[in-house]
Chain A
Amino acid sequence: MNIDSIQNGIVIDHIRAGCGMQLYDLLKLGELDVSVAIIKNVTSHKMGKKDIIKIDADIPVDLDVIGFVDPDATINVIRNGVLVEKKTLALPEKLTNVLKCKNPRCITSCEQELPHVFKLADRAQRLYRCIYCETKA
């Protein structure tokens, strides 16, 4: 399967297979008026299988969101067909308005304008907790 290479834009590579759509949704890529390609289950020597997202525009992407979904993903910034920057990620300490708290007893359930904020509680287990009620994500 061939997808054209991009001239100016971003390639999110080495996404754990199966996480591409989640990333697409959380980054709200469906709302963009540019070409976006999601390639699922690409054969990878390193990972066996991986997902790739190509965005045909040099737009700012939320690195915390990508780091949350898959801290091992890499971000390649392409300009004039040339790789100009490669970014590596880490699990973010805090996520704001990425996840919603599902606890019906949480203050965020009745105060609609409060930001939904989650903090990294356990890096090894990739566990996030709501800062208000400590319910896990």
Chain B
Amino acid sequence: MRSVIDILDLSVEELEDLIATAQDIIANPESYSERCRGKKLATLFFEPSTRTRLSFEAAMYELGGNVLSVTGAGTSSAAKGESVADTAKTVSCYADIIAMRHPKEGAALVAANNASVPVINAGDGGHCHPTQTLADLLTIYREKGGFDNLTVGLCGDLKFGRTVHSLINALSRYRNIRFVLISPEELKLPSYVKNETLKKFGLPYVQSTDLEEVLPQLDILYMTRVQRERFFNEEDYLRLKDCYVLTPDKLRKAKRDLCIMHPLPRVNEISVAIDDDPRACYFKQVLNGKYMRMALILKLLKEAKA
């Protein structure tokens, strides 16, 4: 049974197909409104989430399907000690497809190995979040017309930020991508991502601690939140949480066609004064996420039927 746990589970061709489907959904939403009639999506969210769960549920409703929902480990059998494997086997009896978020890394793979329906990883701890990357890719595609010849700045928590790692992995398969990695020393991109992706594929990158200095070079600026839940030590979190704040003043040095992205939720990283700037794309990203999830649900249900 085909599942999507990591963005690299999808080939470049499949990503292109998903983007084409999402573009078609945006252009012709009514022709997709009955595609999942009679199908059920189970959203199993064992960790807090607003946007991702609602995005999956909205996606399924807009395809004409139904949703079964579990939110919070405390309200499900997980609270009684049920394993992820047993949960996946059980939910497979009720639903046609599962979207799961879990605080433990690798939980989605365990679910996929045991479910008899497709599983979409909606975030497994600090590990992978492939549908966020799908949202990011559609946003870049729509704003920049493609993925080649871009200078992509990634700013904030590059150590624990799963969206950053996934985006680097996804973009590493395109041509002439250059990365600018902006973070404090303590939150630098892990060496394994540098060695096994950037260096392995010969992708040029520079590291910086100064956002303002590198901002004029960027075509894409991907801001991230410093995530409290990834720290074992509260003091470290408090010291690092506001290390980068994007303000209208700083943006004066940026390109006129810069695309500002953020996986959301934001805390203080982007001033609300930027929200009306035409370069702010983070709420478009949210909407694009729904379209890409629709495209992915359609693809996996089609493959499961075949």
Interface residues of A (CB under 8 A from B): 103, 105-111, 113-114, 121-122, 130-136
Contact = CB atoms under 8 A, between A and B. Distances in A.
Interface stretch (B36-44, B103-111, B217-225): B103-111
A110 to B, nearest CB: 6
Contacts of B105: 103, 105-107, 132-135
Contacts of A121: 196
A107 B108 CA distance: 9
Contacts of B127: 133-134
Contacts of B153: none
Nearest to B192: A136
11 contacts: A105-B103, A105-B125, A106-B104, A107-B84, A107-B102, A110-B104, A130-B106, A131-B106, A132-B105, A134-B105, A136-B192
A111 B196 contact: no
Interface residues of B, number: 17
Given A111-B83, A133-B105, A122 B196 contact: yes
B189 to A, nearest CB: 15
B126 A107 contact: no
B106 A113 contact: no
A123 to B, nearest CB: 13
Most chain B CB neighbours (cut-off 10 Å) among A121, A122, A134: A134
B84 A111 contact: yes
Given A106-B104, A109-B104, A132 B109 contact: yes
A107 B103 CA distance: 9
B106 A108 contact: yes
Given A107-B84, A113-B83, A132 B106 contact: yes
Q: Is the interface of A mostly helix, strand, loop or mixed?
A: loop
B68 to A, nearest CB: 23
B162 to A, nearest CB: 11
A113 B110 CA distance: 12
B196 A105 contact: no
Contact of A105 (B84, B85, B109, B126): B126
A100 to B, nearest CB: 14
Most chain B CB neighbours (cut-off 10 Å) among A107, A109, A121, A130: A107
Nearest to A132: B106
B77 to A, nearest CB: 14
Nearest to B105: A133
Contacts of B106: 106-108, 130-133
A114 B86 CA distance: 12
Contacts of B83: 111, 113
A104 B103 CA distance: 11
A135 B109 CA distance: 14
Interface string B124-135: 111100000000
A108 B104 CA distance: 9
A122 B199 CA distance: 14
Contacts of A110: 104
Contacts of A114: 85, 110
A129 B275 CA distance: 41
Contacts of B124: 107
Most chain B CB neighbours (cut-off 10 Å) among A111, A114, A122, A132: A132
A106 to B, nearest CB: 5
Interface string B270-297: 0000000000000000000000000000
Nearest to B104: A107
Nearest to A136: B192
A109 B109 CA distance: 15
B112 to A, nearest CB: 11
Contact of A131 (B103, B104, B109, B192): B109
A29 to B, nearest CB: 31
A132 B114 CA distance: 14
Contacts of A103: 105
